[in-house]
Chain A
Amino acid sequence: MINYDLYIDALIEKDNEAFEVVYENTKRGVFSMILSIVNNKAVTEDLMQDTYMKMIEKIHQYKKGRNFYAWLLQIAKNTALDHYRKENKVNVYDPQEHEYLFDSEYNDQDNFAVYDMIKPLDDEEKQIVLLRIVSDLKFKDIANVIDKPIGTVLWIYNKAIKKLQDYNK
């Protein structure tokens, strides 16, 4: 994993090269986080853009030495949740808050195929599995992002993988 702190000053200066480095190294994580909440291609694309714009806008809130990637993923998660809350068109589900997720009307069209592959998982399991598998995030960072103990994250992940193995037999 790169040292994102080296790029913070350049991001404040809106340096495109620095942004490209940060984007390329974090896009899978941002995509995974949004995908765990949203199952719509067009919306996901918009939310990814919003996430990175918010990251630049709030860059002064990030303190060097902390976990930049986890901070960015928190923005992605909040952006995805806020989107639906603001739109007020659908019910929203935050796996960590145990609320209802998203509107099925949205998901029936233009959905992600990968979402069907992880269909048997509950929403928290989806979030952990996607962050681990797609973005190669360490369990420690996943625990940080979803605010759960690392042991719980490991346990949920292993349970989810077994569930997927049974589902894909």
Chain B
Amino acid sequence: MKKKDLIAKIKATAIEEMPEVLKKIDITKANIEDVPETIRSPFNFRKAVSYSFASLFILVTGITVFNFIAWGNDTTPLETDTEIVGFQTISAASLLEAFDVIELSQTESTYNIMQLSDLTTAVDDTTIIDQISLVNNYLNMAETVLVDENQYLYEDVESDDTAYSYSFRYNGTDLMGNLISYRGYYNIIEQDGYQMEIGILIHDEDNYTYSTVVEDNDGVLTYRYRISLSAQNYVEVINSSTEKVQQFTYRVYKNSELFNQSEVSLVRNRTSLKAQIKITNRYNQEIDLEVERDMSIMENQRFRVNYKITENQSSTEAQGQFTVGLQFNDTTGKYEYRYQINDQEIVIEDRPNKGNQKATEDDFTPGRGSNNPFVTTAIYTEESTEESHSNRHNANSGTGNSQNLLEDTATLNI
């Protein structure tokens, strides 16, 4: 029996058998217990003074750090090894989820297109509309990982699974402000003389496996992560960052064949976090997206996207803007992406279910990290930790050569 059917059957049977006791409960007969007494400790002058000084110190430090961050130049948003590795694995998993959920169940022609008004004219060409199904997969990924710095957390945590030595978690928010959580577990093993990470990623009911893939080209080692739903369906992600740009290359494989490729770059300036996504489609067209997330209204966020489509890296086929928000479909009981293109047309696309519980400040408050070791990290983090540095030295002497894997790939710039 399929998982979905099994869950539906258990749920339906249980609900059918559930006794209805509301009318049998007479709460007027309940004897409400008294309010528990709280004992207040006496005022302690010394403690109060020490708290005041501690608060002042934290305030001054906070302002200094804020100024340093807010008024600096454009920055690369991912800083620690956990953030860099976590970003790669989680973004790839969400991309894999989108391709698996949406692409397999939908052809390019099944989306709904609605005119805002019969009086408005349609966009000059439908080039971008033809690509929305493909673009939608990347917007799904962006919804998971393109989040304002105060609304995400990558954190090393102690592994609570004896099968794995290390663990990390990711908390982010979807466009409704709901919490999106991933938990990763991994071991570092040695195989064929190379160190590599092997682990799992858990997101709600979905499990992904991931591992480091090592290529030895005449002694030059290159590393990438492979995040898999099955042996045939997976995404490979390559960290092709330079010292100035955080950039990742994604390759989506279906039935063991390369299905789609893209490049993503991330940039944060003083006001916003942006992703530049360059997707190559099956017709060898290049779709460039500049994606910015508007988080000013937490419960109704949206993406603003500038797009450009070029043919064979030469003439521009189409360019413009669209916005993407969510709307609830009463029939399916799910949220959908609502694309408004060049202020004229609306396209509705599927969206995999994400969180449904509002995120709180606590979800983005780090605990004490355990400084997990990782086999591969980015070029610009070579001095980030001694521990990861030594691992990289052992296993990843070829990170600077990851550029030679960039051909026929896509990049995501955040």
A: residues with CB less than 8 A from B are: 1, 11-12, 14, 16, 19-20, 23-24, 27-28, 31-32, 35, 41, 44-45, 48-49, 52-53, 56-61, 112-114, 117-118, 129-130, 133-134, 138-140, 149-152, 154-155, 157-158, 161, 164-165, 168-169
A157 to B28 Cα, complex, angstroms: 39
Q: Establish whether residues B204 and A139, one from each chain, have CB atoms under 8 Å apart when the complex forms.
A: yes
Which of the residues B3, B25, B36 comes within 8 Å of A161, measured between beta carbons? B3
Most chain A CB neighbours (cut-off 10 Å) among B27, B32, B167, B185: B27
How many B residues touch the partner, as a band?
35 or more
A57 to B36 Cα, complex, angstroms: 12
Q: Establish whether residues A151 and B185, one from each chain, have CB atoms under 8 Å apart when the complex forms.
A: yes
**Shortest Cβ gap from B312 to chain A (Å):** 45
A52-B25, A53-B27, A151-B202 known; A117-B10 Cβ under 8 A: yes
A16 to B110 Cα, complex, angstroms: 48
A60-B32, A155-B161 known; A23-B22 Cβ under 8 A: yes
A60 contacts across to B, CB distance below 8 A: 32-36
Q: Establish whether residues A161 and B6, one from each chain, have CB atoms under 8 Å apart when the complex forms.
A: yes
Q: Establish whether residues A45 and B1, one from each chain, have CB atoms under 8 Å apart when the complex forms.
A: no
List B residues 1-29 near A (Cβ within 8 Å).
1, 3, 6-7, 9-11, 13-15, 17-19, 21-22, 24-25, 27-29
Closest residue of chain B to A65, judged by CB?
B360
Q: Establish whether residues A56 and B27, one from each chain, have CB atoms under 8 Å apart when the complex forms.
A: yes
Residue B31 at the chain A interface, CB threshold 8 Å = yes
B389 contacts across to A, CB distance below 8 A: none
Residue B392 at the chain A interface, CB threshold 8 Å = no
Q: Establish whether residues A129 and B10, one from each chain, have CB atoms under 8 Å apart when the complex forms.
A: yes
Additional A-B contact list (4), CB under 8 Å, known A56-B27, A57-B31, A168-B6: A16-B27, A151-B202, A164-B6, A165-B6
List B residues 150-186 near A (Cβ within 8 Å).
159-161, 167, 179, 181, 183, 185
Q: Establish whether residues B32 and A12, one from each chain, have CB atoms under 8 Å apart when the complex forms.
A: yes
Which of the residues A48, A56, A133 comes within 8 Å of B21, measured between beta carbons? A48
Which of the residues A32, A53, A117, A149 comes within 8 Å of B160, measured between beta carbons? A149
Which of the residues A52, A57, A134, A151 comes within 8 Å of B33, measured between beta carbons? A57
Q: Establish whether residues B202 and A140, one from each chain, have CB atoms under 8 Å apart when the complex forms.
A: no
Residue B391 at the chain A interface, CB threshold 8 Å = no
B55 contacts across to A, CB distance below 8 A: none
**Shortest Cβ gap from A50 to chain B (Å):** 9
Closest residue of chain A to B34, judged by CB?
A60
Residue B407 at the chain A interface, CB threshold 8 Å = no
A129 to B25 Cα, complex, angstroms: 28
A151-B202, A157-B205 known; A31-B27 Cβ under 8 A: no
Most chain A CB neighbours (cut-off 10 Å) among B29, B160, B185: B160
Give 29 pairs: A residue, B residue, CB < 8 Å, sorted on A.
A1-B357, A14-B27, A19-B27, A27-B18, A31-B14, A35-B14, A48-B19, A52-B21, A53-B25, A53-B30, A57-B32, A60-B32, A112-B14, A113-B13, A114-B14, A118-B10, A134-B14, A139-B204, A140-B357, A149-B160, A151-B161, A151-B183, A152-B161, A157-B205, A158-B207, A165-B3, A165-B6, A168-B1, A169-B1
